[in-house]
Every structure is written in structure tokens, then in C-alpha cells.
């Protein structure tokens, strides 16, 4: 990561959460979970990679599924290890859309103006 390291600049990062009422529809953790489910084909493998319990990952998936018009993750029977999970077309759209939103944010004049005020060397 960009922290510490003598004389290296710290890179400002933006974390975006999209909330629906009190629920976080998608944010840094949930988007990472979606990406890892897509990569590993498994909620439990994704959970392990993030150091969280299967139950916690499942609750995050359920919360996301409840926020969007269609579920983002579906479980599949059979296949490697006797079943797994994959992103639905809506899940793919949300993941890509979240990354697009982050990328757009980094490109705005407002982001540059704000981050130009930061101290960009380690404290």
C-alpha cells in the first residue's frame, strides 16, 4: 500500500458508499466481496480471502440483494466442490458501475482541488 515508506508520497484515495436509507447498498467492502465471489466462484472462498466469516459474507450479500431490483449473487448447484456462487447480470453491472463511479470521482476537478490541499508526504 501507499502508507509509510521513507520519502514516498502518500496517494489520496476515495472510498464511496452508496446508501439506501440506513443500508449500505454498495461500498468498498461489498464491492470487494462481489469481485472475490466473481473471481473464486464461492461465497465462502471470498469470505476467507477477506478474513470474514461465511455468515458475515452471506449477510452482506443478502443486504446487497435487498437493495437492488434483482439479486447480485446467485448460488449454483454442482460444479467444483459441489456448488458455488456467481454474480448475476445485475451483480456484474453493479460491480462495474461502482468501479466506474470511483474512477469518475478521481478524474473530477473537485477531487483534485480537495486533494491538492493534502499533505502528500508521510507524517
Residue with Cβ nearer its own copies (85 or 95):
95
Residue with Cβ nearer its own copies (26 or 46):
26
CA pair distance 95, 109, nearest whole angstrom = 24
Q: How far is CA 39 from the centre of its chain?
A: 13
Query: Binding of its own copies at residue 115 (CB under 8 A)?
Result: yes
Query: Binding of its own copies at residue 1 (CB under 8 A)?
Result: yes
- Choices 22-30, 32-40, 46-54, 76-84; region in contact with its own copies by CB under 8 A: 22-30
Query: Binding of its own copies at residue 16 (CB under 8 A)?
Result: yes
* CA dihedral of 98, 34, 115, 121, whole degrees rounded to 10: -160
Angle at 47 between CA 46 and CA 52, to 5 degrees: 155
Query: Binding of its own copies at residue 57 (CB under 8 A)?
Result: no
Amino acid at each position: 500500500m501507499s502508507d509509510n515508506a521513507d520519502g514516498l508520497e502518500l496517494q489520496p484515495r476515495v472510498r464511496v458508499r452508496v446508501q439506501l436509507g440506513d443500508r449500505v447498498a454498495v461500498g468498498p467492502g461489498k464491492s470487494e466481496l462481489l469481485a472475490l465471489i466473481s473471481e473464486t466462484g464461492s461465497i465462502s472462498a471470498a469470505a476467507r480471502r477477506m478474513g470474514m466469516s461465511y455468515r458475515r459474507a452471506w449477510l452482506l450479500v443478502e443486504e446487497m440483494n435487498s437493495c437492488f431490483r434483482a439479486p447480485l449473487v446467485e448460488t449454483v448447484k454442482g460444479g467444483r466442490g459441489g456448488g458455488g456462487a456467481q454474480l448475476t447480470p445485475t451483480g456484474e453491472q453493479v460491480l462495474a458501475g461502482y468501479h466506474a463511479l470511483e474512477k469518475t470521482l478521481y478524474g473530477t476537478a473537485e477531487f483534485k482541488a480537495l486533494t491538492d490541499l493534502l499533505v502528500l508526504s508521510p507524517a
